[in-house]
Structure 1
Amino acid sequence: MNGGAGSLLSEEVINLTRGPSGLGFNIVGGTDQRHISNDNCIYVSRIKAKGAAAIDGRLQEGDKILAVNGKDLINMLHKDAVDLFRNAGDSVSLKVQHRLLPQNGPSSHRADGEPGGIPLAVILVPGLVLAVTAVWAFLRYRQRV
């Protein structure tokens, strides 16, 4: 998520209104708790179902949060970033960086518990089992002939 080769990045300002369960997302990262090696930035780790961020729909898991209410988050301790979010008030302006191309397969833009597409493993695992079984049966048949 650091914007290396093969990725396109987009910045956006997202204004959220704090709901009963806060802003509705969790963060990771900071200078003391790096989420990505050699990267001190703060990232969205989880969007909570029915929270303010999920209802808005623009913030995504894996987004890099660059600023909160105009305050830069780069090179900030994780604890200080959490405090900044907690004390940001009811109307919060987030400057975020989205990654437009998935790094290793499809990315999830759903809130927890919402239905989505079929996971790749559901297709690949039965296919692999079938292929192994076919090879085993073929080898057994050749031993008998």
Structure 2
Amino acid sequence: MNGSLRPSSSVVDVQLRRGPAGLGFNIVGGVDQQFVVNDSGIYVSKIKDDGAAALDGRLQEGDKILAINGVKLENRTHKAAVELFRTAGEDVELRIMKKLPLHMNGPSPSNSESSGFSLGILAFVGVAALFAFIYMRHTRKHF
């Protein structure tokens, strides 16, 4: 790929069984408190350690929750979404849109930093070699 095509979002269904501490994650968003600009969706803000979501492993922070037990979450307030979660029962089916990685193509930030450092060293070695070549050329004795 050349970076001009955006991959499609991944929508998956996740079944969770409510544990002693609930489903084990927090949410943000809604039409009354947008988490993402121009998007009133409901997003996972935190996965609680040892909760149902953490033990399952598929739900991640930043995922968008599209539906709970088949009930769509679009155009709902935060409070209405919380109420749907609260009354969802023991076994809960979530339809989620997986978050897209920040860097779709190209190096990661750590690779970018090390590449810049490597280029700096390479430039320094090149300049040193050039000066050495010029010095040797001018100090050579001609017979």
Q: Shared topology, TM-score over 0.5?
A: yes
Q: Which structure has the bigger radius of gyration?
A: 2
Equivalents in 2 of 1:27, 1:73: separation in Å?
12
Aligned pairs for 1:1-145 within 5 A: 6-99=6-99, 101-103=100-102
Amino acid of the residue matched to residue 87 of structure 1? T
Which runs of 5 or more structure 1 residues have no equivalent in the other structure? 106-119, 129-145
Question: 1:16–1:23: 8 Å Cα contact kept in structure 2?
Answer: yes
Q: Distance in 2 between matches of 1:103 and 1:8?
A: 14
Runs of 4+ in 1 over 4 A off after TM superposition: none
Aligned-pair CA distance for 1:80: 0.4
**5+ long unaligned stretches in structure 2:** 105-109, 118-143
The number of aligned residues is: 110
Query: Is this contact kept in 2: 1:7–1:103, CA < 8 A?
Result: no
1:41–1:66 contact (8 Å) kept in structure 2: yes
How much identity, in percent, do the aligned residues show? 55
C-alpha distance in 1 between matches for 2:103 and 2:29: 20
- Normalised by the size of structure 2, how large is the TM-score? 0.68
Normalising by structure 1, report the TM-score: 0.67
Instruction: Specify which structure has the higher proportion of helix.
Output: 2
Once the two structures are TM-superposed, the CA of residue 8 in structure 1 deviates from its matched residue by: 3.5
Provide the rounded CA distance (Å) in 2 between the counterparts of 1:71 and 1:37.
23
